Chains A and B, each alone.
Chain A
Amino acid sequence: MGQIEWAMWANEQALASGLILVAGGIVATVGRFAQWYFGAYSIAAGALVCLLEYPRGRRRKGSTMERCGQKYVAAAVKLFGPLTRNYYVRAVLHLLLSVPAGFLLATILGTVCLAIASVIYLLAAIRGEQWLPIESKPKERPQAEDIKPPPSNPPPRPPAEARKKPNEDEVAAGGNPQVNPIPVTDEVV
């Protein structure tokens, strides 16, 4: 039991409680139950709890599976710094949020569940756990480079004729400034 990260379970429990609060609140508001304004409060509180709890924190060891699309909410949650990192704050917040919903039967289930989540967060905080955002995945291991086959063609060169220097006739006709005392032939292969 030593390696249990209570915050992970508290997170699931709080998320579920948020949803239950919203559902109960909707029932109370739509049905116009007595004191239905507690229901309206419950919808708002539940939505807040859901937003806060949606991004899953990083596990201490090993990789953590993100919830779908949690990056964007996590960015917002990170902004609050120690308020969201510290689990004592979360425990107190959840406890306070759950109290008003306890006045209505439709939402009291949400109250009880959120209060339980608050207790589990308290336990997590006592054990020194913290909410840390999940880092983005490191770059994939570089693939082994494809070994390119050796070139099959020789490097591009102009055709043999063009490689020869201009011939003596042209040289003589063109008025080469240099006069060679002995005939010179190009040794180009």
Chain B
Amino acid sequence: MGNWLVNHWFSVLILVVWIGLNVFLFVQTFLKYEKSDEYYYTREILGTALAVARASARCLNFNSMLILVPVCRNLLSFLRGTCSFCNRTLRKPLDQNLTFHKLVAYAICIFTAIHIIAHLFNFERYHTSQQAKDGSLASVLSGLSHHEKYGGSWLNPFQSPNMTVLYVTFTSIAGLTGVIGTVALILMVTSAMEFIRRHYFELFWFTHHLFIVYFLCLALHGFGRIVRGQTKDSMKESHPHKCAQSFEKWDHHDSHCRPPQFEGNPPESWKWIVAPVILYIFERILRLLRSQQRVMITKVVMHPSKVLELQMTKQGFSMEVGQYIFVKCPSISLLEWHPFTLTSAPEEDFFSIHVRAAGDWTENLIRAFEQHHSPVPRIQVDGPFGTVSEDVFQYEVAVLVGAGIGVTPFASILKSIWYKFQRADHNLKIQKIYFYWICRETGAFSWFNDLMISLEQEMEELGKVGFLNYRLFLTGWDSNIAGHAALNFDKATDILTGLKQKTYFGRPKWENEFSTIATAHPKSVVGVFLCGPQTLAKNLRKCCHRYSSLDPRKVQFYFNKENF
């Protein structure tokens, strides 16, 4: 627990501040509407539900303001770049932007529920007091609009006894925008469930654009000015503390009290959301402009296991290790953008991605390039966007774990290191790399075979054999492969990969690996980078905590996970 806190204190701080602000806004608004005199008469009809509805509304405004910011990935990349001098712990929250986005979304759902329930009570009470004929203060207040002498200063939106709750809901701006906005919110949430997002991503992506409807409805929601409080002039004249008791006599000419005058609160939602909406519009425009630039495809390679490598160039494109881009292929789909990690190194004069067949879009892409169409399908690119792998060079010792196609960010890193060695860049902070590649089937190895073989040779030539320790694990083995490997045990190179390092079968025993590394580097800061499944992340995170010593001067493991 101690180690986790050391790594994540900044994220925890942000979380605590966010919760604190929510609580503060809720309580402050609640007290205002529950205690202040200008809402005395409103409370007479509505009770505490008024304060609850307004407090949750303010929190909704606050959270709706926040929710767009974590998805402005260009802004986040910019922040990560400018803050590169910052402590790595300070930049960790930038990697958790999607988690924060989801958290704020949950808060919006909860506050929406509270807001709706409170307003259901409010409408019901307005309706009841409009129909009441008992001469109570509530019914007198509800009848206020009928006093022509005092203008249209009404309190109760239910103007006549015939109006039902449903009628007022669907004929008032607040009611209509409320219902439509909530339906949009619900559709967004149900299509964003993990199950739908993982397996039917396009459905999630398109439905999520209903946020435009939600924000429009939110902005317009308060324009009906349906929440009404007493005007200042009216309070000076007939303060509720003086006049509330003598409400039967308001109409009499000789009473000191006049009927109270009401005005609606001006809409405030738009003030909260205007800045993030503008920011997000800029973000989308920037993505559009970047994507319009011409992309030249310089090389197409089909690897076994249905993996397509595309090498491309684009004017003004510059990248760092481990970054990713969004790719669109208009001939396959006009609207879809899909993320891919860059597998080339910044030192190369092209950039490349490796695409595995994992769904509709990727299969169509691979098929389009397989069929050697002329001309080659056009590609649009947005990015690059930075993720955690950029931090790899900041550590003295790095443990890189890639599962299957998750090895792609690390391919970029290894290539970059190879180039740095070639150019004799001895300023590398990295002293040692432990690279674990875990794969199900042998065909998947061929992609980076060339890279690994040349790296092996490079290390030998430079006499730096110990710099890169890699272990390749084949998890989908059967007795045939094992038997074959056993028979060829004595050969110098591995039969599957041609590398000097033999392939291991099964999964790595992380406890052994971590304890070996901890013993070999007792005083270093070790960065652990994973691109792979959640279960593996849990395992590695546990090992990082277990093998980090509590003494900050001794070995420390920092866990970084990248997942799309």
Q: What residues make up the interface of A, taking CB atoms closer than 8 Å to B? A: 1-5, 8-9, 12-13, 16, 20, 23-24, 27-28, 31, 33-34, 56, 59, 62, 65, 103-106, 108-109, 112-113, 116
Known contacts: A1-B360, A109-B182, A116-B187. The answer to whether A9 contacts B200 by CB under 8 A is yes
Known contacts A12-B193, A31-B120, A105-B165; A116/B183 CB under 8 A: yes
Beyond A16-B189, A20-B186, 10 extra complex contacts between A and B, CB < 8 Å? A4-B202, A4-B203, A9-B196, A13-B190, A33-B120, A62-B199, A105-B166, A105-B169, A109-B186, A113-B183
Instruction: Point out the residue from B120, B195, B199, B359 that lies within 8 Å of A106, measured CB to CB.
Output: B120
Complex contacts, A103 vs chain B, CB 8 Å = 166
CB pair B124 A31 closer than 8 Å = yes
For B123, what are the chain A residues with a Cβ–Cβ distance below 8 Å?
105
Contact A23 B113 (CB under 8 A): yes
Q: Indicate if the CB atoms of A13 and B203 lie closer than 8 Å.
A: no
Instruction: List 20 interface pairs A-B (beta carbons < 8 Å), by A numbering.
Output: A3-B200, A3-B359, A3-B360, A8-B196, A12-B191, A16-B190, A28-B120, A31-B124, A33-B165, A34-B127, A34-B128, A105-B120, A105-B166, A105-B169, A108-B179, A109-B116, A109-B179, A109-B182, A109-B186, A113-B186
Task: Give chain B residues whose Cβ lies under 8 Å from the Cβ of A24.
Answer: 120
In the complex, B117 has a CB within 8 A of chain A = yes
Query: A188 vs B12: C-alpha distance in the bound complex, in angstroms?
Result: 82
A/B pair count, beta carbons within 8 Å: 77
Interface residues of B in 244-262 (CB under 8 A from A): none
Q: How far is the CA of A105 from the CA of B165 in the complex (A)?
A: 7
Instruction: State whether the Cβ of B9 lies closer than 8 Å to any Cβ in chain A.
Output: no
- When C-beta atoms are compared, the residue in chain A nearest to B183 turns out to be A112
Q: Type the 1/0 row for B109-127, where 1 means its CB is closer than 8 Å to any CB of A.
A: 0000100110011011001
Would you give the shortest CB distance from B184 to chain A, in whole angstroms?
11
Q: Which of A31, A56, A112 contacts B179 (CB 8 A)?
A: A112
Shortest Cβ gap from B177 to chain A (Å):
14
Q: How many angstroms from the CA of A13 to the CA of B193 in the assembled complex?
A: 10
Q: Is the interface of B mostly helix, strand, loop or mixed?
A: helix
Contacts of A1 in B (CB 8 A): 202-203, 333, 360
CB < 8 Å: which of B165, B191, B360 contacts A9?
A: B191
Residue in chain B with minimal CB distance to A67: B195
Q: Which residues of A contact B203 (CB under 8 A)?
A: 1, 4, 9
B residues apposed to A, CB below 8 Å = 113, 116-117, 120-121, 123-124, 127-128, 165-166, 169, 179, 182-183, 186-187, 189-191, 193, 195-196, 199-200, 202-203, 333, 359-360
Residue of B at shortest CB range from A16?
A: B190
Name the distance in Å between B16's Cβ and chain A's nearest Cβ: 30
A105 to B121 CA separation, bound complex (whole angstroms): 10
Which B residues touch A13, using CB under 8 A? 186-187, 190
Residues from chain A with Cβ under 8 Å of B190 in the complex: 9, 12-13, 16
Among the interface residues B190, B203, B359, which one has the most CB atoms of the partner chain A within 10 A?
B190
Determine the chain A residues whose CB is within 8 A of the CB of B202 once the complex forms: 1, 4
**Please, how many angstroms separate the alpha-carbon atoms of A103 and B167 in the complex?**
11
CB distance from A181 to the nearest CB of B (A): 62
Given A8-B196, A62-B199, A2 contacting B124 (CB threshold 8 A): no
For the complex, give the distance between the alpha carbons of A103 and B189 in Å: 25
| A4 CB contacts on chain B under 8 angstroms | 200, 202-203
Going nearest first, the 4 A-B pairs with the smallest beta carbon separation are: A12-B190, A13-B190, A105-B165, A33-B124
CB-contact partner of B165 in A5, A34, A59, A112, under 8 A: A34
Q: Chain A contacts of B120 at CB under 8 A?
A: 24, 27-28, 31, 33, 105-106
Chain A proximity of B312: nearest CB distance (Å): 26
Interface of A is mostly: helix
Distance to closest chain A CB from B79 (angstroms): 34
Does A109 contact B183, Cβ atoms closer than 8 Å? yes
Write out the residue numbers on chain B whose beta carbons fall within 8 Å of the beta carbon of A104.
Answer: 166
Q: How far is the CA of A1 from the CA of B206 in the complex (A)?
A: 10
Which residues of B sit under 8 angstroms from A34, Cβ to Cβ? 124, 127-128, 165
Which of B113, B116, B121, B196 contacts A12, CB < 8 Å?
Answer: B196
Q: Could you say which of B191, B196, B359 has the most chain A C-beta atoms within 10 Å of its C-beta? A: B196
Chain A positions within 8 Å of B199 at CB level:
5, 8, 59, 62
Closest-CB distance, A141 to chain B (whole angstroms): 10
Contacting residues, chain B, for A62 (C-beta < 8 A):
199
A27 near B117 with CB under 8 A, answer: yes
Complex partner residue of B195 from A20, A33, A65, CB under 8 angstroms: A65
Q: How many Å from the CB of B113 to the closest CB on chain A?
A: 7
CB distance from B361 to the nearest CB of A (A): 9
Q: Which residue of B lies closest to A15 (CB)?
A: B190
Determine the distance from Cα of A56 to Cα of B199 in the docked complex, in whole angstroms: 14
Q: Which of chain A's residues has its CB closest to B49's CB?
A: A31
Instruction: Chain A residues near B183: list those with CB within 8 A.
Output: 109, 112-113, 116
Q: How far in angstroms is the closest Cβ of chain B from A45? A: 17
Could you tell me the distance between the alpha carbons of A5 and B199 in the complex, rounded to whole angstroms? Answer: 9
A124 to B186 alpha-carbon distance, docked (Å): 20
A34–B164 alpha-carbon span in the complex (Å):
10
Q: How far is the CB of A50 from chain B (nearest CB, A)?
A: 14
Q: How far is the CA of A56 from the CA of B165 in the complex (A)?
A: 37
How many Å lie between the Cα of A104 and that of B169 in the bound state? Answer: 11
How far, in angstroms, from A43 to B186 measured CA to CA in the complex?
19
Report the minimum CB–CB distance from A59 to chain B (whole Å).
7
Considering only CB atoms, which chain B residue lies closest to A103 in the complex?
Answer: B166
Closest chain-B Cβ to A12's Cβ sits at a distance in Å of: 4
Find chain B residues with CB under 8 A from A23 CB.
Answer: 113, 117
Q: How far is the CB of A96 from chain B (nearest CB, A)?
A: 20
User: In the complex, which of the residues B124, B128, B179, B359 has the most CB atoms of chain A within 10 Å of its own CB atom?
Assistant: B124
For the complex, give the distance between the alpha carbons of A113 and B333 in Å.
Answer: 29
Q: Closest CB of chain A to B506's CB: distance in Å?
A: 10
Within the assembled complex, what's the spacing in Å between the Cα atoms of A44 and B183? 22
Question: Is the CB–CB distance between A2 and B127 below 8 Å?
Answer: no
Minimum CB–CB distance from B203 to chain A (whole Å) comes to 5
Query: CA A23 – CA B186 in complex, angstroms?
Result: 14
Instruction: Chain B residues near A3: list those with CB within 8 A.
Output: 200, 359-360
Q: Within the complex, which residue of A16, A31, A65, A106 is in contact with B186, where a contact is CB–CB below 8 Å? A: A16
In the assembled complex, the CB of A69 is this many whole angstroms from the nearest CB of chain B, namely: 16
Instruction: Give A185 Cβ to nearest chain B Cβ, in Å.
Output: 51
Q: Which residue of A lies closest to B364 (CB)?
A: A2
B168 and chain A: residue at smallest CB distance:
A105
A1-B202, A3-B360, A16-B186 given; A8·B195 CB < 8 A: yes
Instruction: Identify which of A2, A9, A27, A28 gathers the most chain B CB atoms within 10 Å of its CB.
Output: A9
What residues of A have a CB within 8 angstroms of the CB of B117 in the complex?
Answer: 23, 27
Q: Which residue of B lies closest to A141 (CB)?
A: B478
Query: Which residue of chain A is the closest to B117 with respect to CB atoms?
Result: A27
